[in-house]
Homo-oligomer: A and B are copies of this chain.
Amino acid sequence: MKTFNRVAIVGGTHGNEFSGVYLLKKWQSSPATIRRATFETETLFGNPNAHRDNKRYLDCDLNRQFLLHDLADPELGNYEQSRAKAINLQLGPKGNARTDLIIDLHNTTSNMGPTLILLKADAFNTQLAAYVAERMEDAVILFEDHCTVEEHFFLCSIADQGIIIEVGPQPQSVIRQDVLDWMEDMTSHILDFVELFNNNEVPELPDTISAYRYTETLKLPEDENGERIGMVHKNVQDADFTPLRNGDPIYTLFSGEEICWDGDYEAYPHFINEAAYYDNNLAMSLGKKVEIAVIKN
Residues of A within 8 A of B (CB): 22, 25-26, 29, 54, 109, 169, 171-178, 180-181, 231-234, 237, 252, 254-255, 273, 275, 278
Contact = CB atoms under 8 A, between A and B. Distances in A.
Nearest to A22: B254
A278 B234 contact: no
Given A26-B254, A254-B22, A254-B25, A273 B231 contact: no
B231 A177 contact: yes
B254 A177 contact: no
Contacts of A29: 255
B275 A234 contact: no
A275 B172 contact: yes
Contact of A273 (B54, B174, B181, B232): B174
A177 B25 contact: no
Nearest to A235: B177
A171 B275 contact: yes
B232 A177 contact: yes
A260 to B, nearest CB: 15
A22 B229 CA distance: 10
Contact of A177 (B174, B177, B181, B252): B252
A177 B109 contact: no
A234 B181 contact: yes
Contact of A233 (B26, B177, B275): B177
Given A180-B231, A181-B234, A254-B22, A172 B171 contact: yes
Among all A-B residue pairs, the 5 with the closest Cβ atoms: A171-B171, A177-B234, A109-B171, A173-B275, A175-B231
6 contacts: A25-B254, A169-B171, A171-B275, A173-B278, A174-B278, A177-B234
B178 A237 contact: yes
Contacts of A177: 231-234, 237, 252
Contacts of A54: 278
Contacts of A252: 177
Contacts of A169: 171
Nearest to A178: B234
A177 B231 CA distance: 7
Given A22-B254, A254-B25, A254-B26, A109 B178 contact: no
A237 to B, nearest CB: 6
A273 to B, nearest CB: 6
